[in-house]
Amino acid sequence: MLFVSILLKVSILGAKTLDYNVHQLNYLDINSAITPATLEYLQTNLKQIPQKGLIVIRLNTPGGLVTTTKEIISVLNGHDAPKVIWVTPSGASAASAGAIISSAADFIVMTPGTTIGAATPVGINEDMKESDGKNKVLNDLVALIEGLSELRKRDAAPFRDMIRTAKSFSNVDAQKKGISIGDAQTTQELIDLLQGRIFHRKDSSYQLSFSPNLDYKQHEQTLGQEILSLLAQPQLAYILFLVGAALIYFELQAPGGFIAGGLGAISLLIAAISFQVLPLNWGALLLVILGLILFVLEIYITSYGLLTIGAIAALTLGSLFLFQPENALIVPPMNIILSTLASVIVVMVGFSLFLFKTRRKGKENFFSPLHKEGVVIDVTSQFIQVKVEGQIWRAISDDTLLINDLITVTHVDNEKLQLTIEKISRS
């Protein structure tokens, strides 16, 4: 440990140190599990931060997806501004994936009463019985940690312990082990702690200093990111997957209503986005399309509003997920998105209520051809084709019919999509 520390100090002293004057301090907050929503939030906001800024990520997480964690590390490493992971507030933790992400930061700061560590993949001893499988996962994460520690000129040993033995460190122990640079409860304490600290980029070293006119900027999550963050919680995403699969199975066993199938498709799409099986922009587009299809189905199927509710949910979530700065070339203002959604929803809900009231009064569907007149357009030995108010139907009749004969519809078989017709006598 002492030998490594001496080497680090010698390498720092031997390199030319340049001044890095911070003009803007940028706050980002991660206060949930590490999910695709976290990645989306960081990707979107890091692009807005100038290279001469300082990035402070206030972190409190129980962990999350390994694949998402690796993508977040790539995103963080892709921005040259110095990055600080601040484990805060008191009682917070940077556990599991949070500890691995912390190792990618230039500096780690902790609030008294916080912890970092326990980065062994959960369930590895239960889900991977073969030692080769366990070693493969562990060695991959250890190699990642060691590479990041070398990049940040930091001792990798404590981070290896976090992965191999699920070691966890309090703020006091983390400072003793060289994981964190110290404790801070306020922004001023954080700045005082960072003043004069050195970070590295390639072959250059930079020393932090802060402008007297330091600008503070808070980067908030958008409404779509907040909703995605909630839905992408691993437990909820898994429940949505199971519910969606069950509803699709029910639809296949008792087809025709589309209610179970539609709601199941929504659940599966959200689960696919949460598990990163489906890219966010494609998943959002499919949700919008599915919402429009469900609105159309509501017109023809008596669902008592269930399809409309599903359509509203799909259309709303799809629109909020789709129009993110990271995924769209042109991003309409949020007030335009919400007002357009509200208009579409009001129109469709009003139309659905009209149809529902019509059915309750015992009236036939507005689009039904029953009791309406039409004309015969084709007669063969197998079927009769008629045209009723622009719609072409297959029909049966006890009358002898010829092409261009006028008919009236006496019965509609919705299961066979077939009409029973009578010839209108010419006077």
Q: How confident is the model at residue 122 (pLDDT cuts 50, 70, 90)?
A: low
Is residue 51 classed exposed, middle or buried when 0-12, 13-18 and 19+ CB atoms within 10 A define those classes?
A: exposed
CA distance 130 to 332: 51
* Domain stop point among 194, 220, 246: 220
Same-domain status, 61 and 190: yes
| Mean pLDDT, range 373-385, rounded to an integer | 87
Share the mean pLDDT of the chain.
Answer: 81
Same-domain status, 154 and 212: yes
Per-residue pLDDT at 285: 79
Per-residue pLDDT at 229: 76
| Mean pLDDT, range 365-378, rounded to an integer | 80
Same-domain status, 331 and 418: no
Q: Is residue 103 part of a domain?
A: yes
User: Among the listed ranges 102-116, 155-169, 197-211, 354-368, which one has the minimum average pLDDT value?
Assistant: 354-368
Cα atoms in the Cβ-side hemisphere of radius 13 Å centred on 378? 8
Kind and range of the H or E element at 217? strand 204-218
Give the percent of the chain with pLDDT over 70. 80
User: Among the listed ranges 4-8, 15-19, 192-196, which one has the minimum average pLDDT value?
Assistant: 4-8
Same-domain status, 45 and 180: yes
Whole-prediction pTM value? 0.64
8 A C-beta contact, residue 163 and residue 120 = yes
* DSSP class per residue in 12-67: HHHSPEEEEEEEEEEEEEE-S-B-HHHHHHHHHHHTTS-TTEEEEEEE-B--B-HH
Q: Is residue 365 part of a domain?
A: no
Look up the domain containing 386 and give its range.
373-423
With CA atoms as reference, report the closest residue to 22 among 202, 217, 175, 183: 217
For 159-188, the pLDDT digits (tens) are 999 998 889 999 999 999 999 999 999 999
Same-domain status, 118 and 194: yes
CA distance 25 to 392: 67
For 256-283, the pLDDT digits (tens) are 567 778 888 888 888 887 776 667 777 7
* 208, amino acid identity: L
CA distance 103 to 4: 17
Q: How confident is the model at residue 346 (pLDDT cuts 50, 70, 90)?
A: confident
With CA atoms as reference, report the closest residue to 217 among 23, 56, 27: 27
| Mean pLDDT, range 97-109, rounded to an integer | 94
Q: Is residue 367 part of a domain?
A: no
CA distance 44 to 38: 10
Same-domain status, 193 and 239: no
Same-domain status, 196 and 244: no
For 74-90, the pLDDT digits (tens) are 999 999 999 999 999 99
* Domain stop point among 165, 191, 220: 220
Contacts of 65 (CB under 8 A, 6+ apart): 34, 35, 36, 97, 234, 276
For 11-56, the pLDDT digits (tens) are 444 557 899 999 999 999 999 888 888 888 998 899 888 877 899 9
Start-to-end CA distance of the chain, whole Å, equals: 108
Same-domain status, 252 and 123: no
Is residue 19 classed exposed, middle or buried when 0-12, 13-18 and 19+ CB atoms within 10 A define those classes?
A: exposed
Same-domain status, 14 and 139: yes
Q: Is residue 368 part of a domain?
A: no
Same-domain status, 76 and 190: yes
CATH of the domain at 389: 2.40.50.140
Identify any residues that bridge with 223 across adjacent strands, giving them in sequence order: none
- Domain count of the chain? 3
User: Among the listed ranges 154-158, 283-287, 303-307, which one has the minimum average pLDDT value?
Assistant: 303-307
